[in-house]
Amino acid sequence: MSEYTLKSARYIARELMEKMLREGSVAVDATMGNGHDTETMARLVGASGHVYAFDVQAEAVEATRARLAQSGLTDRVTLLCRSHAEMSEHVKAVPDLIVFNLGWLPGGDKTVTTLLSSTAAAVRQALAMIRPDGMVVVCCYPGHEEGQRELAFLEELFASLPPQQFNCLAHVFLNAGAGAPRCYAVQKQETYRV
């Protein structure tokens, strides 16, 4: 048997995207990076769905725009060179799924990372915005200083959510060390109404 059953945080996030999205879904890529998740979500939501993708770096937006154009998926996505902390101002539809891949732009400047201040605001917005039975998925990389702060915030926030309103799951390899990536999945209870 050559394939591992227990897989990485990014793999778990991808599996959850595939389970949560279908034709007509609305999704948010809160940290578009090079557009891999944006492209995957655009395929999954189909022609009648829509994806909103955020990144503060113009380089990320342009890389994603090129990826979507090559795949013929541009019309399914709204690209925003904005902070994910502004999500609720720009996404007027009710999302089925909101995905965060924290850290830095792969292949980019590693001194430019997501910041606790904007991540905290964005994750709180995401929890309020998703539909009942919808999900927020966060991949966190605590191998750098700001990532450690984001991790502490996420652990405290998700542990404090009322179980009558949210189901919260943490995926972490316990023997991989303190800086190993983690994936959090938070699903709003179907019966929860604001």
DSSP string of 83-148, one letter each residue: -GGGHHHH--S--SEEEEE-SB-TTS-TT-B--HHHHHHHHHHHHHHSPTT-EEEEEE-TTSHHHH
The mean pLDDT value for 39-62 works out to 96
- Domain extents in the chain: 11-188
Q: Is the pLDDT of residue 8 over 60?
A: yes
Q: Which residue has the tokens 């879904």?
A: 25
Query: Which residues have C-beta within 8 Å of that of residue 71, sequence separation ≥ 6?
Result: 39, 42, 43
Confidence of residue 180 (pLDDT cuts 50, 70, 90): confident
What's the chain's average pLDDT? Answer: 91
Instruction: Give start and end residues of each alpha helix (H) in 130-168.
Output: 145-160
More confident residue, 194 or 61: 61
The mean pLDDT value for 153-172 works out to 95
pLDDT digits (tens, 9 = 90+) for 100-140: 998 865 666 666 677 789 999 999 999 999 999 999 999 99
More confident residue, 179 or 182: 182
Element containing residue 135 per DSSP (H, E) = strand 135-140
Max alpha carbon distance in the chain (Å)? 48
Q: At 33, phi and psi to the nearest 5?
A: 55, -130
The CB-side HSE value for 31 (13 A sphere, CA atoms) comes to 22
Encoding tokens for residue 86? 């502004």
Q: What's the CA gap between 59 and 33, in Å, rounded?
A: 9
* CATH class held by domain 11-188: alpha beta
Q: What's the CA gap between 164 and 15, in Å, rounded?
A: 25
The mean pLDDT value for 50-73 works out to 96
Confidence (pTM): 0.93
The predicted pLDDT at position 114 comes to 78
